[in-house]
Amino acid sequence: MPELPEVETTLRGITPWVLNQEIVAINVYNHAMRWPIPTEVNDLVGLRIEQTYRRAKYLILRLSNQQHLLLHLGMSGVIRVVEADTELFKHDHFEMVLHNGRALRLNDPRRFGCVLMAGHKPEEHALLSQLGPEPLTDEFDGGWLKNHAKNKQLAVKNFIMNNHVVVGVGNIYAAEALFLSGIHPSRAAHNIALKRYQLLANNIKQVLSQAIMAGGTTLNDFKNTDGKPGYFKQHLYVYGRQGMPCFKCGSTIANKVIGQRASCYCPQCQT
């Protein structure tokens, strides 16, 4: 599944091609996504894309009438900007044709992605209104984590993967940040000191920033907007390395199911 760095990479890839461009056509080849693509998207023709940004793993386009279009890649989605006359790929479900002769296309084999209208105030949309802070902002720090961990019995890995606590910390990056912080993924969230939460928050920022700079992580079928894969996978310390030696201490990387997700960790380095 594309995570926050992959979505940020997609945003940076499409922005130079779509910003300030007029929409000259909308083509919906399959309405049956996670939620049906609304017919209102046809009203976007003639509008200009004034801003592109990301909230959690959602891409948001602000249009010249101050309406907003919400895009999500789902489990396997890819957004590409191609020449408008490029032949359609299998699973191309949505297309926005631009005045510059380019087309933004959403390709999603599993159809768990979405294309939705988000009105004049996207922050009030049901999918966005309850989200926690962005992890790369000053709002998110160790104090935020410590305050929200009070009386939380759940495992810290599940805690930091909760989008109500902080957005965009998926399974890969949670595992890596916990390893760098020396925190066992199943430790109860309430049972972690402020100092360790400060370290964890800093490492979450570091891991996500490095992944964004590397162009996202190549896992399964993610490709960024120019078709090239991300390259963060080569830097992973624990994720997907069960049974292999820890790069720091040489112990065997263990794997435990926590919250129905595989959780790799070093039993020696993480306590």
> Residue 261 catalytic?
yes
Candidate list 3, 6, 95, 176, residue with the active-site label:
3
Q: Can you say whether the dihedral through the CA atoms of 122, 111, 235, 166 is positive or negative? A: positive
Cα 252 to Cα 268: distance, rounded to the nearest angstrom: 9
> Residue 133 catalytic?
no
Candidate list 2, 5, 135, 185, residue with the active-site label:
2
> Residue 233 catalytic?
no
> Residue 6 catalytic?
no
Cβ(47)–Cβ(75) below 8 Å: no
Candidate list 57, 80, 102, 196, residue with the active-site label:
57
Q: Which two tokens stand for residue 18?
A: 């779509």
Q: Where does the chain have alpha helices with state H?
A: 4-18, 142-148, 156-160, 171-181, 194-213
3-state class (DSSP) for residue 51: strand
Contacts of 230 by beta carbon, 8 Å cutoff, 6+ apart: 5, 6, 9, 211, 214, 215, 216, 217, 218, 222, 224
CA distances to 41, 66, 81, 95, 123 from 37, rounded to whole Å, are 8, 19, 20, 12, 20
Cα 250 to Cα 182: distance, rounded to the nearest angstrom: 15
Q: What are phi and psi of 74, to 5 degrees?
A: 65, -140
Candidate list 110, 187, 261, 267, residue with the active-site label:
261
- For the beta sheet containing 49-55, the strands, ordered from the edge strand earlier in sequence to the opposite edge, are 49-55, 58-63, 68-72, 114-117
- List residues with catalytic annotation: 2-3, 57, 261
